[in-house]
Chains A and B, each alone.
Chain A
Amino acid sequence: MTDNNFILEVKNLCVFYGGIQAVKDISFGIKKGEIITLIGATGAGKSTTLRAISGLLKPREGEILLEGRSLKNIPPYEVVKKGISHAPEGRKIFANLTVRENLELGAYLRRDKPAIGQDMERVFGLFPRLKERIKQNAGTLSGGEQQMLAIGRALMSAPKLLLLDEPSLGLAPLLVKAIFEVIKEINAKGVSIILVEQNAYQALKIAARGYVLETGKITMTVTAEDLVTNEELRKAYLGG
């Protein structure tokens, strides 16, 4: 029986890249309104898991359920329609398009023009810098601004579930803090979030729980408190 409180459930997921198994039989779930985080070293299978959820990769085995319904064989552009938005690793903003066009593309499937306008204003509320640069080509933005644009663009599809892949990568500490504040703010508006992070400490501080991945397997489920109480854990997985 499926628990209706779960917005997304991943069950026994196995994903391969060619002949190499990147994700080995992992299971986890996220409830409506939660933030959860996937943490672990590079190559542990975090991004692969997100890519399987958004339909970019086809799982070899296992199930992904969005509000109880399987996402099997649903192409990425349909997954967006069902309410999952993915801000991918490396931002992947459209450098040859303007900031406005990038945001408009985020709302590609929506036809409700007034609501799209409101959502764009909401994004500008979160990231005022983007509004200043609205007519600029996205390729001319700084790294931090590009990250803001990637998150803003993902929000433009009005998702129920947001997948964020390393939003703090390569950003200055002050900016990292600001980005995490915004993630909390987005979550407060009712969007569930799966956060993939290398910055495990920061991520766990805002997440309900974290799943530690090691070479494609979930080895541990942790909370922010575990960081305080469990010295060993901190040393082993969280670098300090």
Chain B
Amino acid sequence: MQEFLQQLVNGVSWGSIYALIALGYTMVYGVLQLINFAHGDVFMLGAFFGFYFSRWTKIAQEPTLFGFFATLLFAMAACALVGVIIERAAYKPLRERPRLTALITAIGVSLLLENGGQLLFGVDPKFFPSLISETRLYESANLVISNLPVIILVVSLALMLLLRFIVMKTTIGKAMRATAFNREAAALMGINTNNVISFTFLLGSALAGAGGILVALTYPKIDPLMGLLPGLKAFVAAVLGGIGNIPGAVLGGMILGVSETMVAGYISSTLRDAIAFALLVVILLVKPTGLLGSRVGEKV
């Protein structure tokens, strides 16, 4: 039982990071019907932005909560900027082109960020400073809960609630939902849909940047290719929940995180990475629209 709890805590915390990244995939898909394959690499950039920021500001020397939040905010802001630049430079010129063109471009942007990252940051892994000193919140014979997964979970949930507020309660959020539903009708309302699309990239990339920092807290070895697998898995999480569906992305991320840690804990850790893709195969066979997704008729 205690071991199960242990796995559950880790799984939920890990799942909340998948959820953060999956939200970016699903929101961009919502407004553009584009799988932004560069999204996982923006997550990687988040970790590197945090790494350099905390070194330059000397935050890395001593773990403080303030230092952690400053680093988090910096990485989010920098990733938001990168996300908007990617959208304006790579995707916007292709707005009226077939969807496949943008999809291939997304793969190109992803390769650019990965190889550009290797050029800029070096191929060798770097060690992310421990911005938070690990303490044990609870300890018994078989169960140890440290503060890290709890902080990860709390920060992720706070960001998701903030996102929910923006999407559901603000004017720009309403414009996002309208644009996702029908871009042309949204334009007829006086919504500048190009700005809404950029704003969507801004939000998604900021969340990916936060994900990069949160992952680096637990797995401090960061390298320019670190976004590849988590990016792919977060994409699976988004499809699992129903691509384009915001609560679906959160649900998909959580399910993926928990199943991964359970499989690693009870069966074999070598199967950890396989479970995501097994889930993808199953969901595509059983319910291709995802758990919370609904079939949307082709727009005429």
Chain B contacts for A54, CB-based, 8 A: 188
Chain B contacts for A95, CB-based, 8 A: 181
Interface residues in A50-92 (C-beta closer than 8 Å to B): 54-56, 75-77, 80-81, 85-86, 88, 90, 92
Per-position binary interface string of chain B over residues 135-179, scored 1 when its CB falls under 8 Å from any chain A CB and 0 otherwise: 000000000000000000000000000000000000100110110
Q: Please tell me if the beta carbons of A80 and B181 are within 8 angstroms of each other in the complex.
A: no
Chain A contacts for B64, CB-based, 8 A: none
User: When A and B form their complex, what is the total count of cross-chain residue pairs whose Cβ atoms lie within 8 Å?
Assistant: 64
- Residue A153 interfacial (CB < 8 Å): yes
With A105-B175, A105-B178, A108-B175 as contacts: A94 and B193 at CB distance below 8 Å: no
Chain B contacts for A153, CB-based, 8 A: 189
Residue tally, chain A, CB below 8 Å to B: 26
With A77-B192, A108-B171 as contacts: A56 and B187 at CB distance below 8 Å: yes
Chain A contacts for B193, CB-based, 8 A: 77
Q: Please tell me if the beta carbons of A101 and B174 are within 8 angstroms of each other in the complex.
A: yes
Chain A contacts for B184, CB-based, 8 A: 56, 76, 88, 92
- Residue B120 interfacial (CB < 8 Å): no
The closest CB in chain B to the CB of A101 belongs to B174
Q: Please tell me if the beta carbons of A80 and B189 are within 8 angstroms of each other in the complex.
A: yes
With A90-B300, A94-B177 as contacts: A108 and B182 at CB distance below 8 Å: no
- Residue B185 interfacial (CB < 8 Å): yes
Q: Please tell me if the beta carbons of A105 and B187 are within 8 angstroms of each other in the complex.
A: no
CB contact between A96 and one of B171, B181, B188, B190 (< 8 Å): that residue: B181
CA distance A88 to B182 in the complex (A): 12
Shortest beta-carbon distance from B139 to chain A in Å: 47
Shortest beta-carbon distance from B226 to chain A in Å: 35
Q: Please tell me if the beta carbons of A80 and B300 are within 8 angstroms of each other in the complex.
A: no
Per-position binary interface string of chain B over residues 183-208, scored 1 when its CB falls under 8 Å from any chain A CB and 0 otherwise: 01111111111000000000000000
Of A54, A92, A95, most buried by chain B (CB within 10 Å of CB) is: A92
The closest CB in chain B to the CB of A104 belongs to B174
CA distance A76 to B188 in the complex (A): 6
Q: Please tell me if the beta carbons of A97 and B189 are within 8 angstroms of each other in the complex.
A: no
CA distance A157 to B188 in the complex (A): 10
CA distance A77 to B181 in the complex (A): 17
CA distance A105 to B180 in the complex (A): 14
Q: Please tell me if the beta carbons of A92 and B174 are within 8 angstroms of each other in the complex.
A: no
B residues neighboring A (CB under 8 Å):
171, 174-175, 177-178, 180-182, 184-193, 300
- Ranked nearest first, the 10 interchain pairs of A and B with the lowest CB-CB distance are A80-B190, A92-B185, A109-B190, A76-B187, A108-B190, A105-B189, A77-B190, A108-B189, A94-B181, A77-B192
Q: Can you pick out 25 interface pairs between chain A and chain B where the beta carbons lie within 8 Å of each other?
A: A56-B188, A75-B187, A75-B192, A77-B189, A77-B193, A80-B189, A80-B190, A85-B188, A88-B185, A93-B185, A94-B177, A94-B182, A94-B185, A94-B186, A96-B177, A97-B174, A97-B177, A105-B175, A105-B186, A105-B191, A106-B189, A108-B175, A108-B189, A108-B190, A153-B189
